[in-house]
Structure formats: C-alpha cells, structure tokens
Amino acid sequence: MRELNATVLENIEIAPMVYSLTFGLDEEIAIRPGQFCMIGVHGYSLKRPIAVCKTEGERVTVCFRVKGGGTRALAGNYRLKEKIPVLLPLGNGFSVPEEARRIAVVGGGVGIFPLISAIRAYTGTHEVYAYMGFRSKADICLEYEMRRAELILATDDGSAGFHGNAVQAFMKDVDGLQPDIVLSCGPLPMLRALKNSMRGRDIPVFVSLEERMGCGIGACLVCVCDREDGSRARVCRDGPVFDINEINF
C-alpha cells in the first residue's frame, strides 16, 4: 500500500458517462487482478474507491461511471500531466487455484472493469469465458479487452448479444461449460441472483463488492458487509473479493 502522486496520462469517455482514466506512477507497483485504488479528487475530503482495470508497467487504468459530484469532477477536471493522489494497491483481489483450468467471469455494468483485470491476468494460462452484461448496445465498451476471453455479450434491451442480463446468459451455459471457478462483479441484485442460481452446484463463486469507503485500508470500519455467520467484514480490506456463500446480501 502506497500513497502516491500519480500523473494523468489519459482520461476519456469510453461509453455514455463512463470514463477510462490512465495514470502513471514513478515506478512499477505490483497490482493483483481485482485489487482497487483510492483516487483523490481536488475539493473532496474522501478519495473514491475504483477498481483497477488494467496495468502496464507504471501505467494503471481505472474505469468509472459518473454518478455524483466526485466522479463528475474526476471525469471533467483531470487532463494530461495533471497530478492526482492515489492510494494503492488495495484489497485482496481475485485468486484462482492452480488446478482450475476453466474460469467463467460474469459481470454487469461497471462490474465488468475489475473482471477485465482478471481476464487480462488469466487468459494466458486458463480458458476464460466472459459473460458481460450492459443496458444497451451503446453502453458496451472495452470490447477488445473482453475479447481476450471467449466473450458472450448480454444486453437488457436485446440490442446486442443475449437478450437479458449476464447471470441469465451464464446460467443458460453453466451446465455445459462446467467452469472450475466463477468470478463476478456487478450490481447487488445481479450478485443475489447469481448466488441463488448457483446454490447446489459444486462450483466456487467469488464476487467483488462495492461500498462507500472512508480510509480504503481497513482502519475506519465504514465499508462493512454482512457475513452469513452474523459477523461483519470490511469490504476494503477483507475483500473486495469474497466467496459468494460467505456473504449475506
């Protein structure tokens, strides 16, 4: 974990209200797939937790949807060469057991971005099938990154690929596909549906969660989620990746 001053290299809209921000660090820092960073926005007290989508040497790319004032400022006010405070790498990230051969990733909305880091990490060594859901054809982005895997697109309105969400597309294939492990990220209703649908199948499912955060490193206990055993886990530190059966949504 390092608190650094990064340099903005690129900040572009890649889909309606979705931005891809690439920043450069002074040195290469090892970031595991599924880890995230906290990004400082001038004029805001809290950093924004955003999943790392891609790393190439000292270059790190994160993608985010403009939702509130902080992300609007992040999208609008940061141009080439500007300095931006970042705290990284954070969280546990995905881990895939060595014996696993076939990985299915199931993502929806901005949940596809941490999964792209997994696709990039595992396509060289594993068979990766990506079920990626968007609202509409116009929202599809980073298709060339997703195509590193065997890609099955889904749209809510049926304008491209499977008509429905990513979980529905995945559940149609799961018994034929027989993945050794499933990695997922997306809105809570999607994760809930995935948990229900996968119940009874002997396939481990790991999900990356999102929550409002304070410190991002596990100290402030702001971003907790409920575990099935009644305890609470810190999304930033104990996660953001959890075994789906561990979490009470």
Partner 1 sequence: MTDLHVTICGVELKNPVIPASGTFGFGREFDEIYDISCLGAVATKGLTLEPRLGNPVPRIAESNAVILNAVGLQNPGVEHFIEHDLAWLRVKTRVVANVAGRTVEEYGAMCARLDGLVDFIELNISCPNVRAGGMALGVKPENVKEVTHVAKCALKKTPLIVKLSPNAESIAANARAAEEGGADCVSLVNTFTGMAVDIERRRPVLANNTGGVSGAGIRPIALRMVYEAKRAVSIPVIGMGGITCAEDAVAFMMAGASAVQVGTQNFTDALACPKIIEGLDRWCSSHGVERVSDLVGTLQMN
- Contact call for residue 207 and partner 1 (CB under 8 A): no
- Contact call for residue 237 and partner 1 (CB under 8 A): yes
Which residue, 41 or 130, is less far from partner 1 as judged by CB? 41
In angstroms, what CA-CA distances link 116 with 5, 72, 244, 246? 25, 23, 19, 24
Which residue, 8 or 151, is less far from partner 1 as judged by CB? 8
The whole-angstrom separation of Cα 117 and Cα 28 is 16
Among 1, 12, 14, 188, binds partner 1 (CB under 8 A): 1
Stretch that binds partner 1, among 21-29, 37-45, 54-62, 123-131 (CB under 8 A): 37-45
Among 24, 164, 187, 218, binds partner 1 (CB under 8 A): 218
* Contact assessment for residue 240 and residue 92, using Cβ atoms and an 8 Å cutoff: yes
The structure tokens 């294939």 sit at 173
User: 219-226 — which CB contacts under 8 Å span 24+ positions?
Assistant: 223/49
- Residues 121, 126, 130, CA angle at the centre, nearest 5°? 75
Q: Could you tell me which of 187, 49, 208 has the C-alpha nearest to residue 117? A: 208
Among 164, 168, 214, 246, binds partner 1 (CB under 8 A): 214
- Contact call for residue 46 and partner 1 (CB under 8 A): yes
Which residue, 70 or 109, is less far from partner 1 as judged by CB? 70
In angstroms, what CA-CA distances link 241 with 63, 95, 198, 237? 18, 9, 17, 9
Site residues for partner 1, 105-164, by CB under 8 A, read none
- Contact call for residue 6 and partner 1 (CB under 8 A): no
Q: Could you tell me which of 221, 240, 220 has the C-alpha nearest to residue 231? A: 221
Among 215, 241, 244, 247, binds partner 1 (CB under 8 A): 215
Which residue, 69 or 158, is less far from partner 1 as judged by CB? 69
Give the residues lining the site for partner 1 (CB under 8 A). Answer: 1-3, 40, 44-47, 70, 85, 87, 211-225, 231-232, 237
